[in-house]
A and B are shown apart, each in its own frame.
Chain A
């Protein structure tokens, strides 16, 4: 190996160490939800003595103890900070994390494998807040999330619109002429098909956009690049070869902020889900209430009921707070026209698209 190659490998290992440390800190923050106090001397001793049993010739035991001790101290400091734990679906750098950072700038962002993990995690007090995508301007409703909204007891306390700006990312030393393979989520690959074709690049599906960026940074496979967010470039130290490579006009995704408690804010926007009996004019009667009260609807979507596929439920977002007199009045009248109605809450409207 040449000196340059050795140094390159060392840099890669350093990056991997940090990515792993980030993951460890996230887990430590989550552990706090199960503990009464941050400090637990028995557990600390257990961690230290277990790691010392690893017999590595280049790593002195005293060094191991010092290193792990430093990590534990930092992790305790982080736990004392009391940052709200905000769960999102995907790996670090996913568009969900972009939304979470906008909504809660001082949070600790915890990745979850599935949407249901976000919902359950908040419901079971493992996380303080959750961020989930509800609709995309090109693809429409995110059905899994809408389905979970019908069964959850969580409240919506905020929303954010995030521009999905796909970037071609490479490791810093890649020559664009060598790129042959591009890893990303199938949806992102589909949205960038023109770019891939023009540059004769082969699309390689991966489970997640941010996951593809993380894999690229850690494994650096030959002749490969990834499509992911700008945030991923920052988090995984990747180079943005080209930003905004999607074919169509930039699309955006609307995310909801979920909490166990309703918004402290009065809110200027509200969301409800309802179902009407299968009778002529019932849906119209409901919508008429909003029209007559002069309440602007910002979203209306229908979805088959999981429990009863013959019937539909309707998602309605409208301008105004559940505390507004005319809204109180409309919702009271709605109770009589629907077979079920669920209030998701009132919240501040998103200001612009990020």
Chain B
């Protein structure tokens, strides 16, 4: 870990990224929304639902990295305009992925947090570009990456002068096939030992199973995660992307009823 000059843990401070009224790294930050922006109605209805369930921010993809080139690629700038409208309607800040260095400045015009997806974790030219964007960055862990590789990617962003990096554990590839990936929950306390940067977990892509989302979210909060980023779709069966893994608004509301009390409980436990 010797190559980390900016990301390495210090005795004096932990990074707190403030977006709107949410302080990621201090409060429990809940980011929820559809995998992709598909239409205005779908995005705004989902945004309203997650807002009333207590989410702090809205997620939604306008530029989508898909395994197959023939799958839905996202609505692009049109999708960003829909997210902007959802933000105006609900007040929720926007988290959205950027795939291409040429798009960074454009996406930054609409988004409050730029997301770097798992497949782009080591896209170094993209990392440099978001480092210069003036927006906080949610950096997902590469699905085949070690913690050291991941933190070096955060270092790329920090070294461009952008102090606001949020790490996101989203599951890694193992031999297990029951779940889509394996959520590396040990990354939460490990990251807190290694760096001052906040860490959130993605229980959706890591498990790929709606029934596992809530237990893993609760476990992440118990392990000390700074937040979760979770896929919620107003009608999961109609989703154009990852239809089989999104939560319903009702499921999300039920989980939220338990998640925040758990965090409060954890904070009250004796040291």
Contacts and interface: CB of A to CB of B under 8 A. Distances in A.
A242 B105 contact: no
Interface residues of A, number: 11
Interface string A24-67: 00000000000000000000000000000000000000000000
What 9 A-B pairs have minimum CB-CB distances, sorted nearest first? A199-B105, A177-B102, A198-B105, A176-B77, A176-B106, A242-B109, A241-B77, A199-B106, A177-B103
Contacts of B109: 195, 198-199, 242, 245
Interface in A187-201: 195, 198-200
B263 interface: no
A241 B108 CA distance: 13
Interface of B: 76-77, 81, 100, 102-103, 105-106, 108-110
Contacts of B105: 198-200
Contacts of B103: 176-177
Contacts, number: 23
Given A177-B102, A177-B103, A198 B77 contact: no
Interface string A124-165: 000000000000000000000000000000000000000000
23 contacts: A176-B76, A176-B77, A176-B103, A176-B106, A177-B100, A177-B102, A177-B103, A195-B109, A198-B105, A198-B108, A198-B109, A199-B105, A199-B106, A199-B109, A200-B105, A240-B81, A241-B77, A242-B77, A242-B81, A242-B109, A242-B110, A243-B81, A245-B109
Contacts of A177: 100, 102-103
Residue among B76, B77, B102 with the highest chain A CB neighbour number at 10 A: B77
Contacts of A199: 105-106, 109
A200 B76 CA distance: 19
A18 to B, nearest CB: 25
Contacts of A242: 77, 81, 109-110
A128 B5 CA distance: 72
B208 to A, nearest CB: 33
Contacts of A243: 81
A80 to B, nearest CB: 41
B4 to A, nearest CB: 29
Nearest to B78: A239
Contacts of A240: 81
A348 B108 CA distance: 43
Contacts of A245: 109
Nearest to A179: B106
Given A176-B76, A200-B105, A243-B81, 13 more contacts: A176-B77, A176-B106, A177-B100, A177-B102, A177-B103, A198-B108, A198-B109, A199-B105, A199-B109, A242-B77, A242-B81, A242-B110, A245-B109
Nearest to B85: A243
Nearest to A177: B102
Contacts of A241: 77
Contacts of B100: 177
Interface string A173-186: 00011000000000
A29 to B, nearest CB: 36
B129 to A, nearest CB: 12
A245 B110 CA distance: 10
A241 B78 CA distance: 8
A225 B110 CA distance: 18
